[in-house]
Amino acid sequence: MEKWTPKHEAPEPLEGPVVATIVGGTILWFVLFLVQLPFYGWFDDRDATWWVWTCLAGAGLGLIGIWYVRGREAAIKREAERKAATAADQSAE
């Protein structure tokens, strides 16, 4: 078997509303947790409480994700502004 090598360049990654997507997913996980909470006894009777705690874990990880993607977006904007300022300085010379 021969080694696989790419035949073309990889496309640029798609940038979309990343922060909104992560916030929406986090809200969804937290809502699912709240909806299941009144039925905790039902889940406990069936040894399925992991469903409830999985939703809470998803919401918690989503909060970490929100912090991360907001920082990432800020860093991307700072870099774009720095490049624009550098280009403006070079064109003014």
Could you list the pLDDT tens digit for every one of the 93 residues in the chain?
567 777 888 888 888 899 999 999 999 999 999 999 999 999 999 999 999 999 999 999 999 999 999 999 999 999 999 999 998 888 876
Within 8 A by CB and 6+ apart from 43, the residues are 36, 49, 51, 52
Q: Is residue 12 part of a domain?
A: no
Length of the chain equals 93
Tokens standing for residue 38 = 């009144």
What pLDDT is recorded for position 33?
A: 98
Asked whether residue 5 is assigned to any structural domain, the reply reads no
In a domain, 23, yes or no: yes
The model carries a pTM of 0.77
Q: How far apart are CA 53 and CA 36, in angstroms?
A: 10
CA atoms of 25 and 44, how far apart (whole Å): 26
Residue at 38 is within a domain: yes
In the block, tokens 């909060």 appear at 63
In a domain? residue 2: no
Structural domain includes residue 26: yes
73 and 18 Cβ atoms separated by less than 8 Å: yes
Domain that holds residue 51: 18-92
What spatial distance separates the first Cα and last Cα of the chain, rounded to whole Å?
Answer: 56
- Residue 84 identity (one-letter amino acid): A
What domain count does the chain have?
Answer: 1
